[in-house]
Amino acid sequence: VFTIARYCGENRGRVISSKNNNWLFGFNNGSIEAFYAGTWLSMGRESTEEDWQLQSAVVDLDSDTFDTWNNGNVVSEGKISDEMKLTVIGMLSVGGWRKSGEHEHVSSGSDCEIARVLVYNDALGDHLRRHVEMRLGMMYSISGIAVSQYIDWSKSLGESIRNHPNIARTSA
């Protein structure tokens, strides 16, 4: 999962979450870098920033591992135990969170903007994840990623880029 989003006002609840599972991605209760998928992967850090955040996570159910990033920097990583394994996001909710039938006071809505949400059905490897992050960073001017850095990174893959046709196709 990759998102480009930001808080932009006083209401700072969830921004990207699930309507039918207790799952949230990136933003929660005034914090950025917050990730919850059946259990806390990262409780996040309180922030008054209104800058765009490029947040990403890879959950590999085959190896029972997870990794989360904010603007290309590792936020959390670890193993997923059977009791904490949430295998589906559920119905994606953007802009806040409230289960249907609940009263307004239970809501966790946000003043926010969301530019992009990408959800892949497979766990991306490090090279492909980095490729997506760098391309999104350049597209939305996040993390100071310059085209020259991306080209240098692509060249650093050398011959191994042949093992990554999705990167090779778009990095030329």
Query: What whole-number distance in Å separates Cα of residue 87 and Cα of residue 30?
Result: 26
Query: What whole-number distance in Å separates Cα of residue 19 and Cα of residue 121?
Result: 19
Helix, strand, coil content of the chain in percent (nearest 5)? 25, 40, 35
pLDDT, mean over the chain: 82
Instruction: Look at the alpha carbons of 149, 151, 154, 156 in this order and tell me if their dihedral is positive or negative.
Output: negative
Among 103, 51, 57, 99, CA closest to 78 = 57
For position 150, what pLDDT does the model report? Answer: 81
Pairing of strands 65-70, 53-60: antiparallel
Residue pair 142/4 in contact (Cβ under 8 Å)? The answer is yes
For residue 103, name the pLDDT band (cuts at 50, 70, 90).
Answer: very low
- What is the per-residue pLDDT across 17-58, written as a single tens digit (0 to 9) for each? 888 888 888 999 999 999 988 888 899 999 998 999 999 998
Question: Structure pTM?
Answer: 0.81
